[in-house]
């Protein structure tokens, strides 16, 4: 069974940092187009970042320079390093795979709360 | 404000049909594939439609997708109470260089 499991969310103060992880099973992270998508409570989906099979990375304008997507082949895991967090970054963060130009596999999400 | 425009809410009776619209422009829907997602309360999104009108395995044929110009539509027939959810459209936007989503449509089956 293909599964993505996020972790690393929590409560952090404004200006702080957090690193999210996404562990994959039944799927090889480094062979796939992997993304982070977030959803503030009660609101819609927002694309955050992507990393392609070749290691090319892309970040949404709202997080560029603050967030960094990466992966670790040995651990078959995806990461999102988040720095200089603001309350606008409060959301559920999902790890997802893009295939056939759509997000076909999603994790259960991890909650990030930025508050003093 | 979302790049793609969806009606915030819709409602229909069980057994009826509903169509949810998603409007964009030539930089997104007009020249890229559209996908649709269902999000039941408290759960992660689930892919319903990819490449405008294709269904992943396991998605019933009550769900259908279409695209014309800069708009796309999700159709759901034979509505069931279990279809109550938020529905999102998504695509690539070449002017933004980003994946984009609609604001979501909350479907009520009553």
Indicate the pLDDT class of residue B1, thresholds 50, 70 and 90.
confident
End-to-end CA distance of chain A: give it in Å, rounded.
40
* Both structure tokens of B74: 């999700």
For A:35-64, CB contacts with B below 8 A are 35, 37, 44-47, 50, 58, 60-61
Query: Could you say which of A44, A103, A107 has the minimum Cβ distance to residue B104?
Result: A44
Taking a C-beta distance cutoff of 8 angstroms, is the pair B62, B74 a contact? no
Taking a C-beta distance cutoff of 8 angstroms, is the pair A42, A115 a contact? no
Q: Which residues, other chains included, contact A83 with Cβ-Cβ below 8 Å and sequence gap of 6+?
A: A17, A66, A67, A68
Dist CA A80 CA B1 (whole Å): 25
What residues in chain B have their Cβ under 8 A from chain A's Cβ atoms?
A: 2, 32-33, 35, 37, 43-47, 49-51, 54, 56, 88, 90, 92, 96-104
Strand A10-12, strand A110-114: pairing: parallel
Query: One digit per residue, pLDDT tens: chain A, 116 residues?
Result: 999 999 999 999 999 999 999 999 999 999 999 999 999 999 999 999 999 999 999 999 999 999 999 999 999 999 999 999 999 999 999 999 999 999 999 999 999 999 99
- Cα Rg of chain B, angstroms: 13
């Amino acid at each position: 069974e293909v599964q993505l499991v996020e972790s690393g969310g929590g409560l952090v103060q404004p200006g702080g940092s957090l690193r999210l992880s996404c562990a994959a099973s039944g799927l090889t992270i480094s062979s796939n187009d992997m993304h982070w998508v977030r959803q503030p409570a009660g609101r819609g989906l927002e694309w955050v970042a992507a990393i392609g099979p070749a290691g090319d990375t892309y970040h949404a304008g709202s997080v560029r320079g603050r967030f960094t997507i990466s992966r670790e082949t040995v651990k078959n895991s995806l990461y999102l390093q988040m720095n200089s967090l603001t309350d606008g970054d409060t959301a559920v963060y999902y790890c997802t795979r893009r295939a056939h130009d759509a997000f076909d596999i999603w994790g259960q999400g991890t909650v990030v709360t930025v508050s003093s | 404000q979302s790049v793609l425009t969806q009606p915030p809410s819709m409602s229909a009776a069980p057994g009826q049909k509903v169509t949810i619209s998603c409007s964009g422009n030539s930089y997104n829907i007009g020249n890229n594939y559209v996908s649709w997602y269902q999000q039941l309360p408290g759960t992660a999104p689930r892919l319903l439609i990819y490449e405008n009108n294709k269904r992943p395995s396991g998605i019933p044929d009550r769900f259908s997708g279409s695209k014309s110009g800069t708009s796309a539509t999700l159709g759901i027939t034979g509505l069931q109470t279990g279809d109550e959810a938020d529905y999102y459209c998504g695509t690539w936007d070449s002017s933004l260089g980003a994946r984009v989503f609609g604001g979501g449509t909350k479907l009520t089956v009553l």
